[in-house]
């Protein structure tokens, strides 16, 4: 494959319909967070899902069925006595068609009703009547911090989780009531990420994945430094995909402004030395190490303590450089990495940012770094972009992942990595 074949095309950022073919019941119970459900509904539809909204009477106090009908493109159901269905059994019909029932917001009272198996109106009735194996129940709690912390709520949450509901987290922050604490509903985009993750197969369940991402910044003085054009997008997409695939993920990120993928533990670093220390520390607990970071090869030999000033003579500062440690090579030299493919070993994946001769360079780099899998890409064609193409080089040969969004490539790469891991051992 030549470099041109790997040039990303100028497509806009991925708008892939990740929920295409999914039919969801979106339930709203009463709470100020109902306004977020409107945006959430829109995002679900944009992601390709068909959405049937069901609201409680209390939810109708916060947002109208008209708004939710406009956003979902379907008439909203509120009453269990709604005569529209031919058999007058909305609770049966709606739950039989759904791939999942997502209740957002799920109020304290609604969760209490579920915990007791109550069915006083359509939404809890539908949850109770749904075939639990075919239509899983996801709950996005939303309530005041005192209600959230109350032992009764916590007891009810444990009960509904034990009964099979998938309870999403809550956020910490300012609440509609003016108080501050736990209990805010997740934002619409976070809920979408959770729903997509929920539907993703889990080939990395029980594995711990460590990812480095982004550039590093090597200080010259307190206000200047050298860095590179890496955006971190590929590494962040891989961290997200690994988490969706069931892994516990730690992301060691250089200086980038990207949001942390849901459920990923992020460690922010600045320099290559910081990144090296963080990666070595976290590698001890990892099963897979994926080095996507564009680590600066060199750093100024000594960063000046104060800003280097012009002296008016036209003289330029002489900068001396020293080489940074090779993070990937050092992790790959750890005894657990060397023991690959023995059970319990650490599987190391390197990236190669090249400007030409991708296959030859990737093969050479794989041997030099001593890693089982090396992923090649054309650096100038991918830095900062949303699309890329990858070339996977391992002992069996080379596999091309053709041009696609970094999101799609990350999911494919994670599947390729999962396929190469030995069957998980009992810990």
Alpha carbon 70 to chain centroid, angstroms: 29
CB-CB neighbours of 408 under 10 Å:
19
Can you give 95-140 as a three-state secondary structure string? HHHCCEEEEEEECHHHHHHHHHCCCCCHHHHHHHHCCCCCCCEEEE
Pairwise CA distance, residues 212 & 124, whole Å: 44
Site for ligand CTP in 344-383 (CB under 6 A): 350-353, 365
Closest distance to ligand CTP from the beta carbon of 328 (Å): 4
> How far, in Å, CA of 367 to CA of 390, rounded?
18
Per CB under 6 A, 95 contacts ligand CTP: no
**Residue 60 annotated in active site:** no
What DSSP character marks residue 426?
P
In the shown chain, the binding pattern of residues 192 to 231 toward ligand CTP, with x for contact by CB under 6 A and - for none, equals --------------------x-------------------
Please give the full DSSP string across 384-420, using - where no structure is assigned. T-SEEEEEEEETTEEEEEEEEEHHHHHHHHHHHHHHH
Question: Rg for the chain (alpha carbons), in Å?
Answer: 25
How far apart are CB 47 and ligand CTP at their closest, in Å? Answer: 31
Size of the site for ligand CTP (CB under 6 A): 16
By C-beta, is 190 or 326 nearer to ligand CTP? 326
Choice among 41, 60, 127, 177 that is catalytic: 177
Binding of ligand CTP by 50 (CB under 6 A): no
State which of positions 304-333 bind ligand CTP (CB under 6 A). 324, 326-328
272 binds ligand CTP per the rule CB under 6 A? yes
Residue 185 vs 331, nearer CB to ligand CTP: 331
Residue 36 or residue 365: which is nearer to ligand CTP going by CB?
A: 365
Cβ burial, residue 125 (10 Å; 0-12/13-18/19+):
buried
Q: Which is nearer to ligand CTP, 49 or 234 (CB)?
A: 234
Residue 295 makes contact with ligand CTP by CB under 6 A: yes
In this structure, what are the phi and psi dihedrals at residue 421, rounded to the nearest 5 degrees?
-85, 145
* Number of helical (H) and strand (E) elements in the chain, helices listed first: 15, 19
Which of residues 297, 344, 357, 360 is near ligand CTP by CB under 6 A? 297
Judged by CB, which is closer to ligand CTP: 109, or 326? 326
Q: Which residues contact 20 (CB under 8 A, 6 or more apart)?
A: 47, 48, 49
CB 325, min distance to ligand CTP, A:
6
Q: How far is the CB of 323 from ligand CTP (least distance, A)?
A: 8
Binding site for ligand CTP (CB under 6 A): 212, 272, 291, 293-295, 297, 324, 326-328, 350-353, 365
Give the catalytic positions in this structure: 177
């Amino acid at each position: 494959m030549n470099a041109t074949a790997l040039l990303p095309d100028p497509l806009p950022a991925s708008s892939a319909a990740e929920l295409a073919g999914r039919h969801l019941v979106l339930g709203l119970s009463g709470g100020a967070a109902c306004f977020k459900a409107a945006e959430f509904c829109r995002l679900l539809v944009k992601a390709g899902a068909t959405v049937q909204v069901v609201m409680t009477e209390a939810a109708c106090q916060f947002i109208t069925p008209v708004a939710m009908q406009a956003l979902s493109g379907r008439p909203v159901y509120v009453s269990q006595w709604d005569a529209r269905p031919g058999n007058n059994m909305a609770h049966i019909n709606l739950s039989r068609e759904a791939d999942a029932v997502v209740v957002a917001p799920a109020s304290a009272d609604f969760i209490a009703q579920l915990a007791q198996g109550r069915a006083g109106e359509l939404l809890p009735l539908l949850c109770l009547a749904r075939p639990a194996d075919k239509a899983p129940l996801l709950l996005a709690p939303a309530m005041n911090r005192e209600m959230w912390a109350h032992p009764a709520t916590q007891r009810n949450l444990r009960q509904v989780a034990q009964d099979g509901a998938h309870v999403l987290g809550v956020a910490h922050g300012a609440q509609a009531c003016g108080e501050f604490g736990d209990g805010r509903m997740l934002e619409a985009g976070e809920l979408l990420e959770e729903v997509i993750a929920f539907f993703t197969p889990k080939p990395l369940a029980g594995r711990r994945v460590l990812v480095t991402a982004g550039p590093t910044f090597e200080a010259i003085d307190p206000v200047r430094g050298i860095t590179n054009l890496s955006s971190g997008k590929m590494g962040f997409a891989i961290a997200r995909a690994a988490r969706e695939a069931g892994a516990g993920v730690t992301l060691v990120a250089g200086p980038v402004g990207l949001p942390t993928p849901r459920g990923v533990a992020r460690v922010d670093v600045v320099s290559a030395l910081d990144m090296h220390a963080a990666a070595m520390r976290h590698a001890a607990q990892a099963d897979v190490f994926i080095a996507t970071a564009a680590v600066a090869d060199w750093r100024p030999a000594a960063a000046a303590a104060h800003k280097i000033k012009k002296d008016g003579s036209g003289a330029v500062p002489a900068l001396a450089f020293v080489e940074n440690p090779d993070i990937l090579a050092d992790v790959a030299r750890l005894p657990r990495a060397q023991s690959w493919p023995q059970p319990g070993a650490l599987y190391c994946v390197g990236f190669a940012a090249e400007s030409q001769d991708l296959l030859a360079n990737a093969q050479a780099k794989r041997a030099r770094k001593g890693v089982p899998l090396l992923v090649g890409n054309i650096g100038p064609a991918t830095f900062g972009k949303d699309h890329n193409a990858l070339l996977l080089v391992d002992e069996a040969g080379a596999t091309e992942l053709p041009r696609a969004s970094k999101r799609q490539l990350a999911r494919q790469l994670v599947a390729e990595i999962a396929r190469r891991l030995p069957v998980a051992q009992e810990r």
